[in-house]
Amino acid sequence: MDQKEIIVLGGGIGGLAAANIIASRLKGRGKVTLVERKQYFQFPPSYPWLMIGKRKPDQVQKDLKALKEKGINVINEDITAIDPEKKVVKTTTSELSGDFVIIALGAQYNSGLIPGFSDYAHHIYDLDSAVEFGNLVSNFTHGTIAIGISRLPFKCPAAPYEVAFLLDDYFTKKGLRSNIKLEFYTPEPTPVPSVGPEIAAKVLDLLKARGINYHSRLKLKEINKNELLFENGESMGYDLLFSVPPHEAPIPVQKAGLTDSSGWIPVDVRNMETKFPQVFAIGDVTSIPTPNGFVPFLSKAGVFAHSQAEVVADNVVGSITGKTKIKEWDGKGGCFLETGNGKSAFMEGEFLVAPKPVMEFKEPGKIWHMQKVLFEKYWMRHWF
């Protein structure tokens, strides 16, 4: 029998899961190639811990070389072009042609969209930046830290709030909290609006209880030394600045004609197929409308990238092996919100159900923090 070629683009959360599941289930009946520019799989949910010195970089990354033993051919190169019609992918040195293409390229950051961002803003949206911001935090003794979100959409709606809570806890433990003002700014109307007003109110209460000042509906226009300027004319002073960088679809995705007016890849939400047959997109690179939701599009989160990878992998394997039952994505997912002091809250929901999404909020507790630690352990061990 002919070996089918499956090309997985991106070795982050979605791509790693999809490549692993397909390779293990096909056992030689297909050839799985994973293309990823980085030598390592890195686990972003641990970056907030990296920021406060609770993790070292080696604890939150794994060499993708290990996937060879799982029958996955890893190519550590940049993807430069995708032809979704022909299912051909160009990398820095080669051209690959597949029967199935799974696009899991996530989001890239475009700090050039905001004047001053590259000069003054820091973040934890990639591993090196998280280490760098952590160094600045560890030397900070007094003044104002502005923490916020520059543009929507961005990945992990809870992450910037985790940053605020963990910084509050970190400086409290160092005995420096009374010297430090924490100011949170966001273009959103409420905290984590995707999970609805009731949970947003709980997060707002948590911010208030920690003395973290919350400023909503502020869209960042420009950053100057020690001053943020917003589109409505307001300004905010700072001594240290955290800002989620503006996100966009990776350039080869934009150039491939895969995106729509949202700037991201639309998919058939049941099976994550793009408008091109046997070309799938999963995770942050997609835009999934939530017609009954609290916000117009599904949030970008690893938990969705993972469950979507499982659906696509199952259906790709099924279509190769002749299985007819199609798996459909259920739109369910949950996310931790680290609140400091060894505690975490947990928010979960069914995001696609009518008449409105069903959401649940688990109050901060040690149990949810332990669950997040287990979540990390799973990702650092299970696929390698």
The residues of the shown chain that bind ligand FAD, judged by CB under 6 A, are: 10-15, 35-38, 44-45, 47-48, 78-79, 104-106, 124-125, 155-156, 159, 250, 252, 283-285, 300-303, 305, 335-336
Could you give the dihedral angle defined by the CA atoms of residues 220, 224, 227 and 231, in that order, rounded to the nearest 10 degrees? -30
In angstroms, what is the minimal distance from the CB of 235 to ligand FAD? 27
- DSSP track, 148-168: EE-SSS-B-TTHHHHHHHHHH
Which H or E run includes 4?
A: strand 4-9
In angstroms, what is the minimal distance from the CB of 28 to ligand FAD? 25
Which H or E run includes 197?
A: helix 197-209
Give the list of residues 6+ apart from residue 312 with CB closer than 8 angstroms, or none: 18, 102, 271, 272, 280, 282
In angstroms, what is the minimal distance from the CB of 253 to ligand FAD? 8
In angstroms, what is the minimal distance from the CB of 264 to ligand FAD? 11
The smaller minimum CB distance to ligand FAD, of residues 202 and 247, is found at 247
CB 240 within 8 A of CB 231: no
Query: 190 is written with which tokens?
Result: 């409420």
In angstroms, what is the minimal distance from the CB of 42 to ligand FAD? 7
The smaller minimum CB distance to ligand FAD, of residues 48 and 230, is found at 48
The smaller minimum CB distance to ligand FAD, of residues 230 and 248, is found at 248
The smaller minimum CB distance to ligand FAD, of residues 62 and 300, is found at 300
In angstroms, what is the minimal distance from the CB of 159 to ligand FAD? 4
The smaller minimum CB distance to ligand FAD, of residues 35 and 229, is found at 35
The smaller minimum CB distance to ligand FAD, of residues 37 and 219, is found at 37
With CB atoms as reference, the residue minimizing the distance to ligand FAD is 12
In angstroms, what is the minimal distance from the CB of 38 to ligand FAD? 5
Return the DSSP state at 86.
Answer: T
> What CA–CA distance (Å, rounded) separates 274 from 4?
19
The smaller minimum CB distance to ligand FAD, of residues 169 and 284, is found at 284
Vertex 252 angle, CA 315 and 104, to 5°: 30
The smaller minimum CB distance to ligand FAD, of residues 4 and 247, is found at 247
In angstroms, what is the minimal distance from the CB of 350 to ligand FAD? 16
Q: What are phi and psi of 30, to 5 degrees?
A: -155, 160
Identify whether 187 is preceded by a cis peptide bond (ω within 30 of 0). Answer: no
Cα end-to-end distance, the chain, whole Å? 29
Q: Of 38, 182, 30, 25, which is closest to residue 106 (Cα–Cα)?
A: 38
CB 362 within 8 A of CB 300: no
In angstroms, what is the minimal distance from the CB of 35 to ligand FAD? 6
The smaller minimum CB distance to ligand FAD, of residues 13 and 96, is found at 13
Return the DSSP state at 281.
Answer: E
Give the list of residues 6+ apart from residue 241 with CB closer than 8 angstroms, or none: 120, 121, 122, 145, 146, 223, 228
